[in-house]
Amino acid sequence: MSSTLKSSVLASTAMLLLAGCAEMSPKLSYPGTAQTNQVDVYHGVSIADPYRWLEDDNSAETKAWVEAQNRVTSAWLNSVPERAAIKERLTKLWNYERYGIPFKQGRRYFISRNDGLQNQSVLYTLSALDAEPVLLLDPNKLSADGTVALSGYAISDDGNLMAYGLSTAGSDWQEWKVRDVGTGQDRPDLIKWVKFSGASWTKDGKGFFYSRYDEPTEVARLTKANYFHKLYYHRLGTPQSQDALVFHRPDQKEWNFYGHVTDDGRFLVISSSQGTSPKRRVFYRDLQKDDSPVVPLLTDFDAAYDFIDNDGPVFWFRTDLNAPRGRVIAIDTTQPERANWKEILPQTAETIVGVNVVHSQFFVTYLKDARSQVKVFDLAGRLAREVALPGIGSAGGFGGKRADTETFYSFTSYTVPGVIYRYDCRTGSSTVFRQPKVDFAPALYETTQVFYTSKDGTRVPMFITVKKGVKLDGSNPTLLYGYGGFNIPVTPAFSVSMLAWLEWGGVYAVANLRGGGEYGEEWHEAGTKLKKQNVFDDFIAAGEWLVTNRYTSPKKLAIAGGSNGGLLVGAVLNQRPDLFGAALPAVGVMDMLRFHKFTIGWAWTSDYGSSDNADEFKAIRAYSPLHNIKAGTKYPPTLITTADHDDRVVPAHSFKYAATLQAAQAGAAPILIRIETKAGHGAGKPTSKLIEEAADRQAFLVKTLAVKPPKK
């Protein structure tokens, strides 16, 4: 950065810091973000990038800008009279006991629990389901502010050892340690620079497989592109420097590797991804033979192949090969030619999203119009029964081993927190194992599913949750949420912050957009690359449907989304600023021309395409949130949220977007950015920070949408 620019930035931020607590005028005075003459040329097209300097998260100028923006945002939010009451109610709602899905390994059960307001959930063991829990790991004791989170763990086959990963301040980087389950004490083993990986123990409990990247420099730790994933084996009691490199491809920098030891301990199955595509390559290694080679099994990268389990040399996979909604096949590794593959479960009208083998049965989770449906089949593919679920919602879990007679699952919906059920595999009966109690009256609210028509005639589902008896007169404050990407389905889920919104008379709508995984790979591909505009059309059509059907009006309609959903909000805000009364883009991918240059951003080109490609550049340039902001436009109130340790979608996306939108705003509506400290993309965020952010978001909506307090 030039000395002239540095002086300009520091001067403007200093002036703002002095005035940060002053009374806000009708039209806010934002930090005077300096501009440079940076111009890039893409396929003959010149694109200005005047806020490029904000990409340097380590510079004093960027840090001063962040502080200045946070001062303005905090002053505005703290001036909302209702915020204190909102935070108080959110804190009370959040204070309920909740559990993770238990599982058994060896002679012990393992389960996580949060007593309500703990920053991080605590891991316990049980000698029996009705026994007193024994503390195994409390992440809350690892940091004073709750910003060290348990990011993953794996239990050895006998249940006596636990490998576990820790993430600090929300970063994707993890450090893995090993704990003796019986004593609760850590062994000296320490594994560093792990990212996008779990751990998988060998049957003998002498070590585990994991994946990592090479050690980055400290300066580039949160921004440098991540390439050359490598699969290692760590033997207990040895330093990481002696870990055996099991598999990597130095000729393929974009291939990621994930090792999984089969339940019988015989094979190491290596799944390889490239970008965020659901397609996979699969390799395996026979662990019963010393120095056995890694054998290629599926290398065409032509479909998804998700390993389920094995029956000796026969591997079962969920695949979308010639079945965009999924099917289950068997591949005999002794004769792996495609002519010998056998179909166990054919494609149906519903989409398969998960398959497990428990009690020598396939437990298959389907999506039927974005809601869960679970069926049980024998190993020959014959239907045994359907698991009776308590309503419209999402079910997950059903883990276990071939010999287990029980499994556990959770069920949740927009008004029902995650209830944990024990399922008896022999009788097919479900019993409640843990049921949270929240200070909320779910009987007063209802969720319905509607279908609306997008711009090109596509039928799109949407869930709407409201207070029973709501008047459809166009006056209801409404929050519309969407995602639409990476083959990820958006299914009914419980949210404390949404409960508070409903209590304030709000409507909560969730649109199941193309690009997601609700209807399989065809639905996903219809919202990718050159077809990405379909996602925005679907979201805009959802907003128009809510207005047409008198749920709300444009001035009362807010939109929200995070990550790829933040991109969604930014794109539709540019395309239809007249349709929305407020916007909440969170940790969004806003600079579509440079996203692939940071951390794991290159992996998203499988969904987005890349500005390096001329045709894809043209499509991306047409909707990129940063590059389609038009000066002189009256944009609706917008609260942008990001975090300083987000190394998934680096905060520069939101920094540059906020600066550009503030400079372009022609109206008096606020354009604010809230930058969380010691936090990342979202995973592992402590409860205290979640409550503060939820209070800020709702206070913003209450003021900008003129929401009236609930009647007592």
> Which pLDDT belongs to residue 647?
78
**492: pLDDT confidence band, cut at 50, 70 and 90?**
very high
306-309, long-range: CB within 8 Å, 24+ apart, which pairs?
306/271, 306/280, 306/355, 307/260, 307/269, 307/271, 307/282, 308/355, 308/356, 308/357, 308/362, 309/262, 309/263, 309/356, 309/357, 309/402
pLDDT at residue 23 greater than cutoff 50: no
CB atoms within 10 A of CB 332: 15
Q: What's the pLDDT at 484?
A: 98
Answer whether residue 16 shows pLDDT above 70: no
Largest CA distance in the chain: 76
Per-residue pLDDT tens for 400-429? 999 999 999 999 999 999 999 999 999 999
Active site residue 2: no
pLDDT band at 257 (very low <50, low <70, confident <90, very high): very high
25-61 as b/e, with b when 16 or more CB fall inside 10 Å?
eeebebbbbbbbeeeeeeeeeebebbbbbbbebeeeb
The pLDDT, as a whole number, for residue 170 is 81
- Calculate the average pLDDT of the chain: 93
43 in active site: no
Residues 281-294 have pLDDT tens digits of 999 999 998 889 99
pLDDT at 679: 66
Which of 563, 606, 611, 654 does the annotation list as catalytic?
563
pLDDT band, very low/low/confident/very high, at 6 (cuts 50, 70, 90): very low
Return the domain boundaries, the chain.
69-91+440-591+622-704, 348-437
Strand duo 327-332 + 342-345: pairing: antiparallel
DSSP, residue by residue, 23-34: PPPSS-------
If pLDDT is split at 50, 70 and 90, which confidence band does 114 have? very high
- For the chain, give the percent of residues with pLDDT over 90: 88
> What was the pLDDT predicted at 2?
42
CA atoms of 636 and 656, how far apart (whole Å)? 18
Spell out the residues 6+ positions from residue 132 whose beta carbon is closer than 8 angstroms to its own: 126
Average pLDDT rounded to a whole number, residues 228-247: 97
Residue 18 clears pLDDT 60, i.e. is over it: no
| pTM for this prediction | 0.92
For residue 649, the model assigns a pLDDT of 84
Q: Parallel, antiparallel, or unpaired: how do β-strands 557-562 and 582-586 relate? A: parallel
Q: Give the strand order in the sheet containing 394-397.
A: 394-397, 406-412, 419-424, 429-434
Q: What are phi and psi of 109, to 5 degrees?
A: -100, 150
Residue 381 exposed, middle or buried by CB count within 10 Å (0-12, 13-18, 19+): middle
Residue 533 has, within 13 A of its CA and on its CB side, a CA count of 12
**What average pLDDT does this structure show over 327-350?**
98
Q: What is the per-residue pLDDT for 248?
A: 97
Regarding the domain delimited by 69-91+440-591+622-704, which CATH topology (the fold level of the hierarchy) does it fall under?
Rossmann fold (3.40.50)
Contact 86, 500 (CB under 8 A): yes
